Amino acid sequence: MANVSTIHPNLFDCHVHTHFSTDSDADVKEICTAAESLGLRGLIFTDHNDFDWPFEESSDEYQLPLETYENTLSSIVKSYNGPLDIRIGVEQGLQRSCCDRINSYDSKNRLDFIIGSSHLVEGKDPYYPSFWEGKDVTKSINLYLDTILDNLDCCHNFDVYGHIDYITRYIPDSETRAKTNLKDCQDVIDAILKKIITLGKGIELNTAGFKSGDEPNPRRWILSRYRELGGEIITLGSDAHTPDRIGDHFELARQILIDCGFKNITVFKKRKPEFISIL
Ligand SMILES: [Zn+2]
Ligand SMILES: [Zn+2]
């Protein structure tokens, strides 16, 4: 964790999980304490909701009780009197098979922010080693990126696309993982970025990639390409599932964004983008 004196005062962690996510036990107040001691300006809670989660891979249920979630977090936020600007969002798993439920999600407009993420390829999550059994790595990556493009055609109820090269975090062979740079996939990545920009949506810089390598998700050249194509909406998120990862590698991430040509990060409030200087 960076120390207080080195972190830029405008940074928001816009991708944070709590015990409302099936894969996290994190306590909301402990998350806030961690964000305060790091000197973040604010954070957005974004717990998982994945419709049609495949039970053969995990016995876990990834559907968020939205009303309870929003009510509980809202009352914590209301009684909070510390320095953080705290907002409430969801990380929505995007899939064509449930696009109607995704597109009508949060019809009462209670959320500040929705990250749309691809966690599944043909109904399976590359996070699990069983996904990769008997599979060709290149074909799986191509299929994952095609799935993103397909999701962009049918799922529109989100603000930024999460961790665009998520699948590469979990390539089982470490040498192959280190060598993978997705340069061979530039055409489909360009198509994804152009579609996101045309839809008026954005992407995120997700620092969880630094847990297993030296690139964020998506990697630097994709962030740079997004900016080059005219992309402006970019959020910054740790994807923390524990308090110790809040704001992880954020100073490095800020420098990467500046190097890629960004002057601002984006933070959403009631689904509207606000731009905040990182210079
Ligand atoms: Zn995710
Ligand atoms: Zn996440």
Distance 80 CA to ligand 2 centre (A): 24
Across the strands, what pairs with 277?
264
Residue given tokens 């603000």 in the structure block: 159
Distance 187 CA to ligand 1 centre (A): 23
Output the pLDDT for position 57. 56
Distance 237 CA to ligand 1 centre (A): 11
Residue-wise pLDDT for 34-93, tens only, equals 999 999 999 999 999 999 887 655 555 688 999 999 999 999 999 999 999 999 999 999
- Ligand 1 ion: nearby residues, β-carbon < 5 Å: 117
Distance 17 CA to ligand 2 centre (A): 7
The total number of residues shown for the chain amounts to: 279
Output the pLDDT for position 30. 96
Output the pLDDT for position 180. 94
Instruction: Indicate whether 2 pLDDT > 90.
Output: no
Distance 85 CA to ligand 1 centre (A): 23
Question: Which tokens in the block code for residue 274?
Answer: 């606000």
Residue-wise pLDDT for 231-263, tens only, equals 999 999 999 999 999 999 999 999 999 999 999
Instruction: Indicate whether 3 pLDDT > 80.
Output: no
Output the pLDDT for position 54. 78
Distance 119 CA to ligand 1 centre (A): 6
- The answer to whether 20 and 119 are in contact (CB under 8 A) is no
Instruction: Indicate whether 123 pLDDT > 90.
Output: no
Residue-wise pLDDT for 143-199, tens only, equals 999 999 999 999 999 999 999 999 999 999 999 999 999 999 999 999 999 999 999
Instruction: Indicate whether 213 pLDDT > 90.
Output: no
Instruction: Indicate whether 6 pLDDT > 90.
Output: no
Residue ranges and CATH numbers for the domains of the chain are 4-277 (3.20.20.140)
- Ligand 2 ion: nearby residues, β-carbon < 5 Å: 91, 239
Instruction: Indicate whether 1 pLDDT > 60.
Output: no
- The answer to whether 115 and 90 are in contact (CB under 8 A) is yes
Distance 16 CA to ligand 2 centre (A): 7
pLDDT band per the 50, 70, 90 thresholds, residue 212: confident
Query: CA 265 to CA 279: how far, in whole Å?
Result: 10
Query: CA 117 to CA 48: how far, in whole Å?
Result: 10
Output the pLDDT for position 111. 98
Closest-approaching ligand to the CA atom of 217: 1
Closest-approaching ligand to the CA atom of 169: 1
